[in-house]
Structure 1
């Protein structure tokens, strides 16, 4: 069937058990009565007769221009809700039972605390697989109150029949609430062990990338700078294969196979090997336009620099002075710095690749600062939190790795010729760049931000409505790189658009700054493909949109002009007095 009508991906993978499928067919409502039947009608002189009603779950794939949701039983959204998410929750329960002693020791939790948390997660899992109505959050925080407002405003408040992104985000927010309800578990990350193991399993490719990165950092001429920029974006792309949410927490290797001890895991070779799997490649356009815009922004900042008068001395004649003044963020129409933003996805090796790109942009003086947008709470198993960000840098600083691989003689080697030198990989450069990243974090060259919006269920075209201040923050960037599949789904509005729809049109007006979307394909949503490409790949591999084996790199150069804010700045609100404010 043509992609321009309705996608027809295959049924969910064979590992979907009949038991799990039957759970959904037996879905019950809050009164524990069959949701898909009416109450029996009593017929005078006869038996109670059940009257069948149509099931809201349809045995089709997701139609074009429809939201992704569990309603469609041949969709990856349905498979994720019935199989992947329950397995992830089960692993959390198993981890808490298996490692109870260490969790209690590190958190100061009691047996009762852990039992309460396990009970909470077990109920959440049961509610999910039986398609119950969403429960409201119980914790009393402003953010939780917003969630409850969103739940109550949702046109559909059931796991399978609401949008997939809302239900997924709701499950992870509820998982976090299970920790919040027990004070001793307030800082507990149920995915920390999995993330740590994933990091340790990718130290070798990190060392390989570090050895190459140090040759890219000295300032270089334009063509080499562009080529290195393109290479590092592609390193970031294929690093997105390391997704613990897709693998339901199972450890994955960068190349998708078991590591071979006799070979070096080389991410740069992956770029060549996977060239045909990169379906959209806007890297050259992105590199050119980001570097050009960065140069123009630097000139504008220099030209607009206003000398802020030194604050007057204190009234009593002492040397103590008021805080220095800076331009008001709400009034500013030209940023103070040339900044590149990265909306992060996975921790571990993927974050490491993002840090390498950021280091390159700083060292080549393309930008002055890089802002990393991470999740405030544990999210989708392996998403980056501030704690994960610090962990990756510290682990790089103290990495200890060494591997020597002998090289086979060349087929045309002359007799008596010395054999080729073995390849030696060490962590020396990895430690060196880790130290530099720690310094960048200390001096503000790297900035970590974790706004609540990133853990909300909202698609990005609605960002201005739900978090105007974050939208304005993004407008200060020379470009924003969105990483991974969840960000991609939110960029495209969680809507099954035509595969040939252009990236700019698919963004539906969300253009706070030029946008670079870097993602390996792990869900049935995509845009920007050449005509006929979707059908061609689907004939070869019907499951290709679920595996993460293919990738896209989109770039949209358009951006909404940066104007004075429509609202007071969030720091001083209605107390704002003018164009300058305290630091």
Structure 2
């Protein structure tokens, strides 16, 4: 089958067009505002040098916003980061896809590329503004989202502790039911995405557990039983059997806590022996999880004045200490490359994922990179859209926030399009979509 063309802002009226035209400038405006609001902090920490750096960063981002809004050509990166050369080579590759003399630009290039490129340029802007280079321009909104979502997190932590009190007498059927519940919680936790809301409050105020039955009708692909069959092997195996689950993380805040709850339950219910988490090397897509966010979240849960949440934080800290939880970060997750190129671009990461029994990819950006962010027919099988990317059995757990979706039953996409024009971008629908090793 011929690979379809990538989604792009050149298609007016598309979500890609709306993103590049409205959402990305809005995010850059918030970045400028955040840096300006921290002016006094920079003065306190670094004196006049901090103020000069603040001005320099604001000037950089104002210029970047103008480049974007006026559809200027994509520029090579000028910082000296470990991935600079890879990005600049990718720009050269994009040039080879165009007719003579045409330059890759914000509205005419693939959406996945230019959106990732904007976040990489944000890293560049900070990098070129010492001594404030280490400042995370999205940290404030990530923390705010965490605190706003605390009531929902508390109810999940209480549920998990209650579950642990009863689980020793559970049959496999009861365990299956519980893990299905927590997979769905992890799915709907993916609604809390600050890049989609342009950095506006998008926290989870109410308990997701009480809404699961109502939400079931909105799961378009439900492959939970395929995951259960892999996890069950560990539960039914002998003491020597080891099952490794990898979670490629998406958002910090509420979603990260739902991922922690799921990972904790997998170990406690004897469905996995170790869980490996993969996060971003730096601030990305507003709310994506970095190592700092990961550690901060565990620490905050541990220090919370609530016995269930604090107990969870304690367990999670111990899991890390004992090596039952392992955190990884790799430059590849913040490159613009589709995942079908991973074996070539980042063979070490591909080899690492091959050690896994099950890889869970959280969220929309991961789905876009898994499928190449292309205009696939709705019914194209998921495994086919992955092309050569099959390091281990894998599953996408994602609420739909971009106009790409594969693996649907005949007629479902058309029926939804006729009823709801925004079904692919509203976050109302979700998938738990599995692909075996092909």
Give the TM interval when normalised to the shorter protein.
over 0.9
Mapped to 2, the partners of 1:461 and 1:176 lie a distance apart of 25
2:376 aligns to what?
A: 497
Contact residue 379 and residue 455 of structure 1 kept, 8 A: yes
Name the structure 2 match of 1:536.
415
- Provide the C-alpha distance between the structure 2 equivalents of 1:370 and 1:221, rounded to a whole number of angstroms: 23
Tell me whether 1:119 sits opposite 2:59 in the alignment.
yes
**Does the alignment pair 1:483 with 2:362?**
yes
Aligned match of 1:230:
180
Dislocated runs of 4+, deviation >4 Å: 106-109, 293-296
In 1, distance between residues paired with 2:249 and 2:45?
Answer: 27
2:23 is aligned, of 59, 84, 94, to 84
Give structure 1 stretches of 5+ with no counterpart: 1-63, 260-264, 303-336, 401-426, 560-583
Question: How far does residue 85 in structure 1 lie from its aligned partner after superposition?
Answer: 0.4
Instruction: Assess, with a 3 A threshold, how the Cα gap between structure 1 residues 394 and 106 changes in structure 2: closer, same or farther.
Output: farther
Structure 1 residue aligned with 2:79 = 139
TM-score by length of 2: 0.93
Contact 1:294-1:338 within 8 A present in 2 as well: no
Deviation at 1:432, TM superposition (A): 0.5
Deviation at 1:449, TM superposition (A): 0.7
Question: 1:276 offset after TM fit, Å?
Answer: 1.3
Q: Say if 1:195 and 1:382, in contact at 8 Å, map to a contact too.
A: yes
- Match among 512, 515, 524 for residue 394 of structure 2: 515
In the superposition, relative to structure 1, how do residues 481 and 113 fare at CA in structure 2: closer, same or farther (>3 Å)?
A: same
> Corresponding residue for 1:70?
9
* Equivalent position to 2:261, from 331, 344, 356: 356
Pair 1:287-2:228 in alignment: yes
Return the offset for 1:275: 1.5
Residue of structure 2 aligned with 1:555, choices 425, 434, 437 = 434
**1:69-128 deviations in Å (ceiling 9; x for gaps):** 111112111110110000000011112222311244357651110000001111111111
Q: Distance in 1 between matches of 2:58 and 2:270?
A: 50
Contact map agreement 1:294 1:478 (CA 8 A) in 2? no
Distance 1:493 1:290 in 2: 28
Distance 1:375 1:341 in 2: 14
**Aligned mates of 1:75, 1:120 — CA distance in 2:** 29
Determine the structure 1 residue equivalent to 2:131: 184
1:396 partnered with 2:301: yes
Are the equivalent residues in 2 in contact too, given 1:374–1:448 (CA < 8 A)? yes
The answer as to whether partners of 2:231 and 2:272 remain within 8 angstroms in 1 is no
SS for the counterpart of 1:546 is coil
Partners in 2 of 1:524 and 1:120 — Cα distance? 31
Alignment of 1:155-166 (within 5 A): 155=95, 156=98, 157-166=104-113
Q: Deviations over 1:108-151 (max 9, x none)?
A: 65111000000111111111111111111111233212211111
Q: Which one of the candidate residues 121, 143, 153 is aligned to 1:196?
A: 143
| Superposition CA RMSD, Å | 1.9
Residue 192 of structure 1 deviates from its aligned partner by 0.5
The secondary structure found in structure 2 opposite 1:379 is coil
Scaled by the length of structure 1, the TM-score of the pair is 0.70
Judge conservation of contact 2:154–2:308 (CA < 8 Å) in 1: yes
Q: Which residue of 2 aligns with 1:341?
A: 246
For structure 2, which runs of at least 5 residues remain unmatched after alignment? 99-103
Deviation at 1:291, TM superposition (A): 2.5
Richer in helix (by share) = 2
